[in-house]
A and B are shown apart, each in its own frame.
Chain A
Amino acid sequence: MRFIPHTEEERRQMLNLLGIENTDRLFEGIPREVRLNRELQVDGGLSEMELSRHMASLAEVNTGVDKTICFLGAGAYDHYVPSAVKHILSRSEFYTAYTPYQPEISQGVLQSIFEYQSMICLLTGMDVANASMYDGASALAEAALMACASTRRDRVVVARTVHPEYREVVRTYLYGPGIKISEAPYREGLTRAEDAAGLLDQNTAALLVQYPNFFGCIEDLRKLAEAAHSVGALLVVCADPIALGMLKSPGQCGADIVVGEGQPLGIPLSYGGPYLGFLACREKFLRKMPGRIVGQTTDVDGRRAYVLTLQAREQHIRRDKATSNICSNQALCALAATVYLSLVGRHGLRQVAELCLQKTAYARNLLAKLPGYRLPWQSPVFKEFVIETKVAPEIINRELLKHNILGGLDLGRYYPELAGHMLFCVTEKRSRREIDLLADRLGAMS
């Protein structure tokens, strides 16, 4: 029997102790009417050898970014993952544990989360971070709820330059409690403070923006913070953690809550998950924060140690009055980010960020010069940029794929007014030769 160690003899001994003949007796509490009287129709019973082959054959049907040249980003990024990250993550003392309810035997997970919280604070310029959320989108949604709870207001304004799927998730989360949402328009790829201000009022809990935004453009957070604060609303920023290696921290620009997607920090693309939501805020909002938080303390012998703390916010204590329903989070992904940030370190993160910035600038210039392609906006960008194309994006991408290039996102899918526009992403992994190849192929199509 797979993964069940009992021998027939042991099974008999156990039944003997229970004074029963067979295990069916143990299921007699299930009313007859609801018992399943047939075998489950689920394929299986493969030996490990067959199973390995089967899984390999399913995987082989797919073509991933290891076999293509990837210029696709839009919330999932092909950054380099140092080898050591994978090796640490495969320590099964970490990955076969659960939430560290017993701190005496969970210092590994607890300390790594404490280090993670510290790093997130250093990047975002916030005072406190939690132990992780499901992903960037759900972190943004929880931040919106947190802002509503903190300000006791029931409206939020979200910039249209926020990832369209993130906005959908925010909408879903706010549907339950009935919080109203309005969307701030963009100009030149950016959210203008004056446009946002037109939507903000005394009932607005928060303004939600992305940094850099979905188009790769870098929002002017300082002005947006002023606009939000002038009506007593909070500024919630959804940030790219790699960009924070060189851009001013949202905290320095006046943000109140900072969230984001941690996937760029050493987490594989894995078809969209598992990823890592991070959430950090100013200390005054701490008691409204969702999720687990690790704090430092001492043991009875005076040793420094770490423990889950401030649990009076959480569902297992507060039940229907909890700040959120989150229980399991993405702890192992937080560990990946922590190891990644340790390895790249203070100078490496800035270097990765600059590589992205320079390569993106190079690619953007090159593409802009091609006939049949045009930059719609001149606003500064980080690792992604939008380009208008004469040929339909769908056709372009199909053609690029013939040359093994995974092209940019067709923006018309999310923004009707941007039909015929594409979003390209250039990470530190793209070489000049690959960028030149992209330009060649695009040039050949106009």
Chain B
Amino acid sequence: MTEKLIFELGSPGRRGVEFPAGDVPATALHELLPREYLREQSPPLPEVGELDAVRHYVRLSRMNFGVDVGFYPLGSCTMKYNPKVAEDAAALNGFANLHPYQPAELSQGALRLMYETQQDLAEITGMDAFTLQPAAGAHGEMTGMLMIKAYLESKGETGRTKVIVPDSAHGTNPATATLCGFQVVEVKSDERGGVDLAALKQVLGPDVAALMLTNPSTLGLFEDHIIEIADLVHRAGGLLYYDGANLNAIMGYARPGDMGFDVVHLNLHKTFGTPHGGGGPGAGPVGVKAELEPFLPKPVVIKQGDSYLLDYKRPQSIGRVKAFYGNFGVVVKAYTYLRALGGRGLKQVSEFAVLNANYLMKRLSNHLRIPYRRVCMHEFVASPPRECKERGIKTLDIAKRLLDYGYHPPTVYFPLIVEEAIMIEPTETESKETLDRFADSLIKVLEEARENPETLKNAPYTTPVRRLDEVAAARKPVLGWFPE
């Protein structure tokens, strides 16, 4: 199945939407603009009717797999069900039609919603204050690390130029540290999948600004030395940064703030049920302990008496990371989710996310190699059985074959420290029968790998397109359609 490009559809002169003719007296263009400012020709955008466009994009949608289509156990991404009522809420006129610069008295409902979200996220994480401005997790990381930088500088600690990142960390962590002007120091994981304490001690010193940690880690394991780690980092004068991508595992059970973290970012598009949008928009709120509060991006939503307002008077703020106040529409969805669940419901989310992951790990434990044989949290990481390697079967082949069974494959080749990693995160919104069916399918694929490896190497067979030539795509990049 393929679909023409929108540029290859339609016919010259056709339009998808009509605008009314101008109702003001028209002035000759050259009186308004110097002639040389004008385009000679309109940009060659498509010339299609509304039906052409609608059919085209509906057909494209049918070539796409989302959570609403089927099971999507993409580790580290928390592909849970996105409640429809939240979509409706964000689309309400009273939210979708607000201009960011309209007076605060016209936006009290929106500001209250933001304020309460800040408060709730602080309670859930054990932090003192939150900003909703960052647009995604990585954006939150940048915000948090710049605050750490500004905080340390305010204490005269300008020699802290290094940031420690475990080798199991997500790529955005080291990339963020560099973006913020730090040098990255990688620290090994130990045989239990946690931070290697001896290695950590070796790199800690007066030049260290922070340790960036994901807990549960990207291996789906709780860092059992967390108290000791926090203590070591703090005693060395550094700060502890929490990558909250995996918060779905511990809500109501433990809070990063109580573990000693100084700064956290969350991904509303993971833990708080907002959709991933085909790659975004998400939102990456950042929470801090009181010492770092003055450095939050401005403005912050505050409450004065019975009214809510945007506070710009923040002289120590790192400034802004985004125009306006963040991905408000996404925050509306997360707020809706929070009010659906409440404190008790959030704890159940984590309870069942962890139960589902452990159940699935158990179901697959005789079929996959599980490098860390312990209770997992919301996800687990595995490698294909040895006989796969002997037959030349890679994780990629297993993933591609799962497509034929109607699944989005797990995350593959991450974290980097596990050979041929397969990272499975079922989330709490999936039922037992979905997990069972997935386990059965994966077991069947592994059987195929033994008996008929070629089936896997050439998979998938049933998808709209089959394996792509990615090397050609990178070697001779064709990155757009251009008129002849």
Contact = CB atoms under 8 A, between A and B. Distances in A.
B339 A43 contact: yes
B19 A346 contact: no
Interface stretch (A76-84, A182-190, A193-201): A76-84
Contacts of B269: 328
A97 B64 CA distance: 8
B425 to A, nearest CB: 12
Nearest to A341: B45
A80 B42 CA distance: 20
A94 interface: yes
Nearest to A99: B279
Contacts of B414: 316
A104 B460 contact: yes
B351 to A, nearest CB: 5
Interface string A394-436: 0001000100001001000000000000000000100110010
B32 A380 contact: yes
Contact of B324 (A18, A104, A118, A272): A272
A171 B319 contact: yes
Interface stretch (A229-237, A357-365, A367-375): A357-365
A150 interface: no
B481 A115 contact: yes
Given A273-B281, A341-B46, A96 B339 contact: no
B375 interface: yes
Contacts of A332: 275, 277-281
B99 A305 contact: no
A29 B224 contact: yes
Contacts of B345: 1-2, 44-45
Contacts of A275: 323
Contacts of A59: 89, 92-95, 109
A261 B324 CA distance: 12
Interface in B260-284: 267, 269, 273, 275-282
Given A39-B252, A103-B468, A320 B177 contact: yes
Interface string A234-246: 0000000000111
Nearest to B56: A342
Contacts of A297: 468-470, 472-473, 478
B339 A54 contact: yes
Nearest to B222: A29
A269 B342 contact: no
A207 interface: no
Contacts of B480: 114, 117-118, 121, 128-129
Nearest to A397: B103
Nearest to A323: B175
A324 B464 CA distance: 32
A11 B477 CA distance: 50
Nearest to B18: A348
B481 A114 contact: yes
B138 A5 contact: no
A309 B470 contact: yes
Nearest to B228: A31
Interface in A86-113: 86-88, 90-109, 111-112
Contacts of A380: 32-34, 37
Given A93-B62, A292-B279, A348-B16, A218 B33 contact: yes
B97 A65 contact: yes
A349 interface: yes
B314 interface: no
A295 B473 contact: yes
Interface residues of B, number: 207
A295 B253 contact: no
A346 B99 contact: no
Given A6-B352, A122-B45, A96 B68 contact: yes
B324 A94 contact: no
Contact of A18 (B280, B362, B411, B464): B362
A358 B24 contact: yes
Contacts of B279: 97-100, 109, 131-132, 292, 328-329, 331-332
A5 B431 contact: yes
A121 B483 CA distance: 11
A348 B46 CA distance: 10
Contacts of A171: 319
A52 B85 contact: yes
Given A63-B106, A96-B68, A342-B53, A269 B469 contact: no
Contact of A17 (B15, B338, B362, B465): B362
B226 interface: yes
Contact of A249 (B7, B10, B39, B103): B39
A202 interface: no
A432 B25 CA distance: 9
A353 B135 CA distance: 29
Interface size class of A (residues with CB under 8 A): 35 or more
A33 B343 CA distance: 21
Interface in B1-27: 2-3, 5-7, 10, 13-17, 19, 22-27
Contacts of B318: 172, 175
A41 B346 CA distance: 11
A51 B336 contact: yes
B53 A361 contact: no
Given A23-B355, A165-B323, A6 B43 contact: no
Interface in B138-186: 138-139, 141-142, 145-146, 149-150, 165, 170-172, 174-182, 184
Contact of A345 (B45, B224, B343): B45
B343 A137 contact: no
A349 B15 CA distance: 10
Contacts of B137: 327-328
Contacts of A401: 103, 106
Contacts of A15: 355
A76 B324 contact: yes
B100 to A, nearest CB: 3
B355 A11 contact: yes
Contacts of A68: 102, 106
Contacts of A246: 38-39, 42
A96 B82 contact: yes
Contacts of A108: 60-64, 278
Contacts of A42: 120, 123-124, 338, 341-343, 346
A21 interface: no
Listed residue (B94, B170, B224, B251) with the most chain A CB atoms within 10 angstroms of its CB: B94
B403 A102 contact: yes
Contact of A361 (B32, B65, B174): B32
A134 B135 contact: yes
B321 interface: yes
B136 interface: yes
Contacts of A5: 429-431
Interface stretch (B197-205, B234-242, B325-333, B383-391): B325-333
B444 to A, nearest CB: 19
Interface string B396-424: 00011001000011010010000000000
Nearest to B50: A84
A55 B281 CA distance: 21
Given A4-B349, A91-B61, A358-B27, A41 B123 contact: yes
A100 B61 CA distance: 13
Given A58-B94, A327-B172, A70 B375 contact: no
A376 interface: no
B328 A272 contact: yes
Nearest to B360: A14
Given A325-B175, A327-B136, A304 B2 contact: yes
B340 interface: yes
A342 B6 contact: yes
Q: Which 4 pairs, one residue from A and one from B, show the smallest C-beta to C-beta distance?
A: A44-B342, A272-B324, A59-B94, A108-B64
Given A99-B278, A106-B65, 13 more contacts: A46-B339, A55-B336, A64-B97, A65-B99, A72-B99, A78-B99, A96-B67, A97-B64, A319-B175, A320-B165, A343-B53, A349-B43, A361-B32
7 contacts: A3-B428, A13-B432, A40-B344, A44-B342, A63-B94, A268-B97, A273-B328
